[in-house]
């Protein structure tokens, strides 16, 4: 039986990750936890644009904007995950950045 808890933290960077860490400390979570920190930059889905760009001639600036947004989302998620990992060294913490609709992406 797998007794590891999994937590998805959808983090948009709007408030300091310190507050998230404080909330996690108060939650009384167990030692064995797997965490995914997910940041979704609202806008065009970079992966979908990239697939479609060669076939449909999508404007290069739209693809570059989505690429920039993806890079920023990944950076935000990585920094938040690092702070959470340092506060909870026994946890497995991963990060992921995506582009698209935040609500849809988080639910998926």
pTM of the predicted model as reported, rounded to 2 decimal places: 0.82
pLDDT in tens, 3-20: 778 999 999 888 788 888
d(Cα 17, Cα 15) in Å, to the nearest integer? Answer: 6
Residue 40: predicted pLDDT:
93
d(Cα 69, Cα 71) in Å, to the nearest integer? Answer: 5
pLDDT in tens, 39-87: 999 886 666 666 665 555 566 777 788 888 999 999 999 999 999 999 9
Provide the H-helix boundaries in the chain: 17-26, 46-56, 60-87, 102-107
Locate 61 and state its tokens. Answer: 């600036």
């Amino acid at each position: 039986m797998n007794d590891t808890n999994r937590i998805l933290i959808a983090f948009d960077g709007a408030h300091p990750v310190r507050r998230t860490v404080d909330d996690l400390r108060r939650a009384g979570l167990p030692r064995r936890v797997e965490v995914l920190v997910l940041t979704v930059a609202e806008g065009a889905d970079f992966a979908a644009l990239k697939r479609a760009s060669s076939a449909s001639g999508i404007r290069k600036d739209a693809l570059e904007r989505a690429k920039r947004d993806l890079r920023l989302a990944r950076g935000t998620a990585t920094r938040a995950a690092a702070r959470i990992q340092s506060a909870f060294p026994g946890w497995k913490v991963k990060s992921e950045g995506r582009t698209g609709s935040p609500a849809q992406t988080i639910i998926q």
